[in-house]
Structure 1
Amino acid sequence: MANRSIVFMAVIALFLAVLIAIPTSVHSIGVCYGRLGDNLPQPSDVVNLYKSNNIGGMRIYDPYQPTLQALGGSNIPLIVDVPNEDLQNLASDASAASDWVQNNIIAYPDVSFRYIAVGNEVIPGDSAGYVLQAMNNIQSALSANGLQGQIKVSTSVSQGVLGTSYPPSAGAFSSDASPYLGPIVNFLASNGSPLLVNVYPYLSYTGDMEDISIDYALFTSPGIVVQDGQFGYQNLFDAIVDAVYSALANAGGSNVEVVVSESGWPSAGGTAASPDNARTYNQNLINHVGQGTPKTSGRAIETYIFAMFNEDQKPAGIEQNWGLFYPNEQPVYQINFS
Structure 2
Amino acid sequence: MGIGRQHGAATIVLGILELFLFRLATSQLFIGVNYGTIADNLPPPASTASLLMSTSIGKLRLYEPQPDLVAALAGSNISILLGIPNGAVPNLASSPAAAASWAATNIPTTVPVSAISVGNELLNSGDPTLAPQLLPAMQNLLAALPAGSTTKISTVHSMAVLSASDPPSSGAFHPDLAGSLDPVLDFLHQNGAPFMINPYPYFAYASDTRPETLAFCLFQPNAGRVDAESGLTYTNMFDAQLDAIRAALDAKGYSDVDIVIAETGWPYKGDADEAGATVDNAKAYNTNLVAHLKSQVGTPRTPGKSVDTYIFALYDEDLKGGPESERSFGLYKTDLTANYDVGLAKSSSTAAPTSLTPVPAQGTPQPSKGTMPTGFCETTAAVPGSTQGQQLPQSSSCYIPGGAVSRRTDAGTWRLVLFGVLLCLVKVAGN
Give the TM-score normalised by the residue count of structure 1: 0.90
Verify the 8 A CA contact 2:209 2:275 in the aligned structure 1.
Answer: no
Correspondence for 2:36: 34
Between the aligned partners of 2:212 and 2:247, the Cα distance in structure 1 is 21
Change (3 A) 1:23 1:169: farther
Within the candidate set 129, 134, 147, 2:132 is matched to 129
Q: Secondary structure at the match of 1:57?
A: strand
Question: How far 1:47 moved relative to its partner?
Answer: 1.0
- 1:138 and 2:141 matched: yes
Between the aligned partners of 1:14 and 1:52, the Cα distance in structure 2 is 26
The residue correspondences of 1:251-270 to structure 2 (distance < 5 A) are: 251-269=252-270, 270=274
AA partner of residue 311 (structure 2): I
- 1:329 and 2:336 matched: yes
Between the aligned partners of 1:48 and 1:310, the Cα distance in structure 2 is 18
Change (3 A) 1:41 1:19: closer
The percent identity for this pair of structures is 39
Change (3 A) 1:211 1:219: closer
Q: Secondary structure at the match of 2:33?
A: strand
Change (3 A) 1:180 1:210: farther
- 1:271 and 2:275 matched: yes
Correspondence for 2:79: 77
* Larger Rg computed on CA atoms: 2
Between the aligned partners of 1:230 and 1:133, the Cα distance in structure 2 is 41
Correspondence for 1:55: 57
Q: Deviations over 1:24-53 (max 9, x none)?
A: 982111110111111110111111111112
Correspondence for 1:292: 298
Q: Secondary structure at the match of 1:117?
A: strand
AA partner of residue 317 (structure 2): E
Verify the 8 A CA contact 2:84 2:119 in the aligned structure 1.
Answer: yes
Q: Secondary structure at the match of 2:123?
A: coil
Structure 2: which 5+ residue stretches go unaligned? 347-431
Give the TM-score normalised by the residue count of structure 2: 0.71
Q: Secondary structure at the match of 2:175?
A: coil
Q: CA RMSD in A?
A: 2.6
Change (3 A) 1:18 1:162: farther
Correspondence for 2:103: 101
AA partner of residue 220 (structure 2): T
Q: Deviations over 1:117-167 (max 9, x none)?
A: 00001113422221111111111111xx2144x101100001111110121
Verify the 8 A CA contact 1:205 1:214 in the aligned structure 2.
Answer: yes
AA partner of residue 253 (structure 1): Y
Verify the 8 A CA contact 1:221 1:235 in the aligned structure 2.
Answer: no
Between the aligned partners of 1:256 and 1:227, the Cα distance in structure 2 is 23
Verify the 8 A CA contact 2:61 2:82 in the aligned structure 1.
Answer: yes
- 1:110 and 2:117 matched: no
Between the aligned partners of 1:95 and 1:113, the Cα distance in structure 2 is 21
Q: Deviations over 1:224-249 (max 9, x none)?
A: 22334242111000000110011111
The residue correspondences of 1:301-312 to structure 2 (distance < 5 A) are: 301-312=307-318
Between the aligned partners of 1:320 and 1:176, the Cα distance in structure 2 is 32
Moved more, 48-57 or 298-307: 48-57
Moved more, 326-335 or 120-129: 120-129
Between the aligned partners of 1:243 and 1:78, the Cα distance in structure 2 is 27
Verify the 8 A CA contact 1:32 1:304 in the aligned structure 2.
Answer: yes
Question: How far 1:207 moved relative to its partner?
Answer: 2.3
AA partner of residue 133 (structure 1): P
Q: Secondary structure at the match of 2:118?
A: strand
Divergent runs of 4+, >4 A? 1-25
Verify the 8 A CA contact 2:80 2:115 in the aligned structure 1.
Answer: yes
- 1:215 and 2:215 matched: yes
Between the aligned partners of 2:18 and 2:167, the Cα distance in structure 1 is 37
Aligned residues: 333
Between the aligned partners of 2:86 and 2:334, the Cα distance in structure 1 is 26
